[in-house]
Structure 1
Amino acid sequence: METLRPRRLGHIVLMVRDIHASVKFYTEVMGLAVSDWISDQMVFLRASSDHHDLALSQIPKDSPDINDLPRYSRPGVEHFSYLVDDMAEMERAVRVLQAHGIEIVRGIGKHGPGENLFLVFKDPDGNNVELYCEMTQIGPDRPYEAKVWERNIDSFDQWRFERFVVPPPAAVVAAKQGKK
């Protein structure tokens, strides 16, 4: 049976209790640079040329918010990712995952911050694993100015679920339809 063909470990997304304290730590202590924010709920940081190799997501402080995808109530890993070559490899990955009976969670989509394509699925322990490609590259010859994205469907999937191979998450659909 076929296998996936990741090129390297890419980025990790952590759920954090206090996003501003975490940003201060990762920029002032670790020396990472901020690439983008989604509202004040998520921040993308980098140590090299990838748009992000670490993203931080604020744990909801009170009641769950339907725009929070996914909803976590504790600090820890939301997902980690592996780089693949291109969209063709991502499409092949869908077939491989389906042949192995692996649960696909979301994707194929295109994130706003980082512009990367994504496909998220579960490992045997229920961890979210992401394949991605085509991430924005930043460097002296490719300057980039950080911006704040609104927390909406375009920051999550610029293609608006048109390439998803599974139904989109109910919370995102509700937000898209303007329901709370």
Structure 2
Amino acid sequence: MATAVHNEQFDVGGVLLPHPFKIRRFGHFGFNLDRLDEGITFYVDKLGFRVTDEVDMFKEMPPQALPAAQQVVTDPRLIFTSNSADHHALLLAHRTFGTFFGNDLHADDNTLSQITWQVGSLQEVVDAEAYLRARGVRIGRVGRDMPGGNWHVYFLDPDGNTVELYYGMEQIGWSRKSRPAAMHYRGFNTVPSLPQMSEAAELQEALNRGIDTDSGWSPSEAHLKETYDVGGVLLPRPFKITRLGPISMFTERMEEMLAFYTELLGFQIAEEAQHLGKRIVHLRSASEHHTFVLADKALRGRLGLSEHTSCLSIGMEVGSYSQLRAAVRYLVQEGYTLVDDVPAELYLGIDYAAHLRDPDGHLVCLYSYMEQIGWDGRPRPQSERRAVTNPWPDTLLPLSDSYADQTFMGPLG
């Protein structure tokens, strides 16, 4: 795989950049789980992700491929869930589903189906595909996914993780209904020609075809009782996940992975640390301190984390420090055990954080604050960061960037 040539410049919306795209944020990801039903309960009922679509892949496959799939896949469901108006933020499937589609082809401990980053336009997706292909990156597929409606290019990083750059995620509004299956004809399996019609034009075309645009998936949430006051809104749990990420990964190819994500994808190293003599690198794509962490895989066993997955942790921001404290109490009451000895070097830029395991052993990091990096691109010096005390205080004094990240758009529930 070739690396980027640093003197190249590309016009990205009128700004000259060293890549023909700019990653704006962590978009979504997927877990392949051995305990799928328990995982759905954990992420949906306990953490508050909403099911937005469910696909039976046996029903979607061409007849000639079905027998081979049925020999491998024990549960064909693909569950789309979201914490926001995005059609999906977290995809859940059975571990055998991921095996059939090659997610663990390069490493048995790859339990992620994809790691996905959002760019700013369809043009950037198309240009990214050509740019990456020309530099020897292993392209998986390109086009437009359904459900979700996002235009994408999929490719592999040096560790064999499936990475996606995308634009145009379907937004789900107050009715909680996703795009109906009858509108999935606008999916693409090739590089799209440009320009494409707008979403508004797609809707009008569907209406002209007589498609019932209100017939999409709508979740059943009647079993969830809204008993907690969260900022003046009654919810089934005393917190709201308002942001997804950062995602943290173990790797044995630190230099290759860093070159891939910095030189080819444009991430910047925000800060480095060591724990037990092993390297930890925090990378950013926007103003947050980090959105991606790479850690030496030799740390995994020493920290007592699950050997079955190369995913170190997945971060989930809640709406406030008060919500974070309430989330800890709630999840402990629900029978989940906190992991108390996760070293702070793994999540620099975050101070108060709570870690727990999902039913398969993946580590989830709940937090309410992440340091923001300003125009000079420098993180806050360690000496000026807030010290974490135990027990946690009832309230905190503000920092210069408290509540400075983007607020959650839309109602909490």
Normalised TM-score (structure 2): 0.33
What are the superposed Cα offsets for residues 94-143 of structure 1, whole Å, 9 maximum, x if unpaired?
A: 12212322111111x11111111121111122211100111111233xx3
Corresponding residue for residue 51 of structure 1 = 87
- Report how many aligned residue pairs link the two structures: 150
Paired residue type of 1:90: V
Kept in 1, the 8 Å contact 2:32–2:112? The answer is: yes
Query: In structure 2, do the counterparts of structure 1 residues 43 and 139 end up closer, same or farther at CA, with 3 Å as the change threshold?
Result: same
SS at match of 1:27: helix
Does structure 1 residue 94 correspond to structure 2 residue 129? yes
**Once the 2 structures are TM-superposed, how far is the Cα of residue 147 of structure 1 from its aligned partner?**
8.3
Q: Which amino acid aligns with 2:191?
A: R
Structure 1 vs Structure 2 CA RMSD: 2.7
Given that residues 11 and 53 in structure 1 are in contact (C-alpha distance below 8 angstroms), is that contact kept between their aligned partners in structure 2? yes
Structure 2 Cα separation of the partners of residues 49 and 98 of structure 1? 32
- Tell me, which stretches of 5 or more residues in structure 1 are unaligned? 165-180
How far 1:28 sits from its partner (Å)?
Answer: 1.1
Is the alpha carbon distance of 1:23 and 1:148 closer, same or farther for their aligned partners in structure 2, counting shifts above 3 Å? farther
Q: What is the one-letter code of the residue matched to 1:6?
A: I
CA distance in 2, matches of 1:126, 1:60: 17
User: Given that residues 36 and 148 in structure 1 are in contact (C-alpha distance below 8 angstroms), is that contact kept between their aligned partners in structure 2?
Assistant: no
Partner of 2:116: 81
One-letter amino acid of the structure 2 residue matched with residue 86 of structure 1: S
1:169 is aligned to: none
Match of 1:60, SS state, is: helix
Aligned to 1:33: 50
Partner of 1:24: 41
Aligned residues of 2:103 and 2:162 also touching (Cα < 8 A): no
CA 71–124 in structure 1, closer or farther in 2 if over 3 Å, else same: closer
Q: What is the alpha-carbon distance in structure 2 between the residues aligned to residue 30 and residue 71 of structure 1? A: 25
Structure 1 residue 75 displacement after superposition: 6.7
Task: Say if 1:74 and 1:147 are closer, same or farther in 2 by CA, change over 3 A.
Answer: farther
In the alignment, is the contact (CA less than 8 A) between 1:59 and 1:75 conserved in 2?
Answer: no
From 142, 148, 157, the equivalent of 1:114 is: 148
The answer to whether the Cα contact below 8 Å between 2:103 and 2:112 also exists between their aligned partners in 1 is no
1:65-94 residue CA offsets vs partner (Å, 9 max, x unmatched) = xxx434547672121100012221111101
Counterparts of 1:158-169 in structure 2, within 5 Å, are 158-159=187-188, 161-163=189-191
Contact preservation (8 Å) 1:35, 1:147: no
Give the structure-1-normalised TM-score.
0.72
Distance in 1, Cα, partners of 2:96 & 2:129: 31
Residue 174 of structure 2 is aligned to residue 145 of structure 1: no
Gaps of 5+ in 2: 6-17, 57-75, 193-413
Secondary structure class of the residue paired with 1:97? helix
Residues 130-179 of structure 1: per-residue CA shift (max 9 Å, x gap): 00111111233xx3325896xxxx69x922x2438xxxxxxxxxxxxxxx
Q: Distance in 1 between matches of 2:150 and 2:158?
A: 25
| Aligned-partner Cα distance in 2 for 1:38–1:19 | 14
AA matched with 1:15: N
Give distance in 1, aligned partners of 2:34 and 2:42.
13
Q: Which has the larger radius of gyration?
A: 2
Deviations 1:14-43 (A, max 9, x none): 111132221111111101110101125110
Q: Which amino acid aligns with 2:101?
A: L
